[in-house]
Amino acid sequence: MLAKRIIPCLDVREGRVVKGVNFVGIQDAGDPVEAAIKYDSQGADELVFLDITASSDKRDIIIEVVAKTAEQLFIPLTVGGGIRSVEDMRKLLLNGADKISINTAAIEQPDLINQGAANFGSQCIVVAVDAKRKDRKDSSKGFEIYTHGGRENTEIDAIKWMQECQSRGAGEILLTSMDCDGTKDGYDIELYNEICNLLKIPVIASGGAGNISHLEDVLNRGNADAVLAASIFHYNEYTVGTVKNELHEKGICVRL
Partner 1 sequence: MIGIIDYGLGNLGSVFKAFKFLNIEAKVISNPEEIDKCEKIVLPGVGAFGSGMNGLRTNGFESFLNKFKDSGKPILGICLGLQFLFESSEESPEVSGLNWIPGKVVGFQGDFKIPHMGWNQVKFTPGDNFGESFEGKYFYFVHSYFVQPKNSSCVLASCDYFGEFVCGIKYENITAFQFHPEKSQTSGLNLLTKWVKSC
Binding residues for partner 1, rule: CB under 8 A, are: 1-3, 5, 40, 45, 70-72, 74-76, 94, 96, 98, 121-123, 171-172, 199-202, 225-226, 255
Name residues whose C-beta falls within 8 Å of residue 119's C-beta, 6 or more positions apart in sequence: 86, 89, 90
Residue 124 Cβ vs partner 1, minimum distance, rounded to whole Å: 8
Do the strands 138-147 and 152-157 form a parallel or antiparallel pair, or are they unpaired?
Answer: antiparallel
Residue 171 Cβ vs partner 1, minimum distance, rounded to whole Å: 7
Q: Which is nearer to partner 1, 171 or 222 (CB)?
A: 171
Q: Which is nearer to partner 1, 141 or 255 (CB)?
A: 255
In the chain, DSSP finds a helix count (H) and a strand count (E) of 10, 12
Active-site residue numbers?
A: 11, 130
Do the strands 99-102 and 77-80 form a parallel or antiparallel pair, or are they unpaired?
Answer: parallel
List phi, psi (to 5°) of 186. 110, 170
What 3-state DSSP class applies to 192? helix
| Strand-pair partners of 49 | 10, 79
Q: Which is nearer to partner 1, 72 or 183 (CB)?
A: 72
Residue 73 Cβ vs partner 1, minimum distance, rounded to whole Å: 9
